Copies of this chain bind each other. A is one copy, B any other.
Amino acid sequence: MILGLIRLGARTGYDIKQTIEVTTRFFWNASYGQIYPELRRLEGAGLVESRPDPGSSRKRTLYDLTPAGEKTLHEWLTGPGDLFDMRDEALLKLFFGDLLAPDEVLANLRRRRESFEEVLGLFRAIEARGPEAQHGYVYPKKTLDFGTELVQWMIDWYAQAERDLAGG
């Protein structure tokens, strides 16, 4: 991920984290505690090169991919092994719904739906930044669309489950 973000134009560790916050964090997150040590590790492995920023008044370290870094990035992007996992505590609580009264289950369903509605608002806000934030790249928008549609699907599913429970 870090190699890719540098390749797309993120220059510093801080910059990488800022980008993650409005893009991949919903399906692939990373903290400063990972990013900075990892940048050093990548440099040690010869995949990135660092240099102090010449044009800036701030002291910050700029990173670029080396040819080896480009190669590693491309190999990962075309390689096998696509990890997928999710943890969903609301679904786990739903699994135990038989241990609750119907109104308690209903409250849980509603709470989860509302939290997804907030996420949807967040996605719409990011979307509203428009295409100029994308620097000509089209796939970040595609993954954002995935997120928007997925969250919308979740909202619909929970709304339907609420109706099922209330109705009969």
Residues on A facing B (Cβ under 8 Å): 1, 4, 7-8, 23-24, 26-29, 73-74, 76-78, 80-100, 104-105, 107-108, 111-112, 115, 137-140, 142-143, 146, 149-150, 153, 157, 161
Q: Is the CB of B99 within 8 A of A89?
A: no
- Residues on B with C-beta less than 8 A from A153 are 150, 153
Whose C-beta in chain B lies nearest to the C-beta of A28?
A: B92
Asked if A74 and B99 sit within 8 Å, CB to CB, the answer is yes
Query: Which residues of the partner chain B approach A108 to less than 8 Å between Cβ atoms?
Result: 77-78, 82
> What residues of B have a CB within 8 angstroms of the CB of A161 in the complex?
142
Residues in B neighbouring A28, C-beta threshold 8 A: 87-89, 91-92
Of the listed residues A108, A138, A146, A157, the one surrounded by the most CB atoms of chain B closer than 10 A to its CB is A146
Are A87 and B98 touching (Cβ within 8 A)? no
- Whether A84 and B84, one on each chain, are in contact in the complex, defined by CB atoms closer than 8 angstroms, is no
Additional pairs, 9, CB under 8 Å, beyond known A4-B95, A84-B86: A8-B96, A27-B92, A77-B96, A78-B104, A84-B87, A85-B87, A86-B87, A91-B143, A95-B143
In this complex, the member of A8, A82, A100, A161 whose beta carbon has the largest number of chain B beta carbons within 10 angstroms is: A82
**Residues in chain B near residue A93, CB distance under 8 A:** 76-77, 82
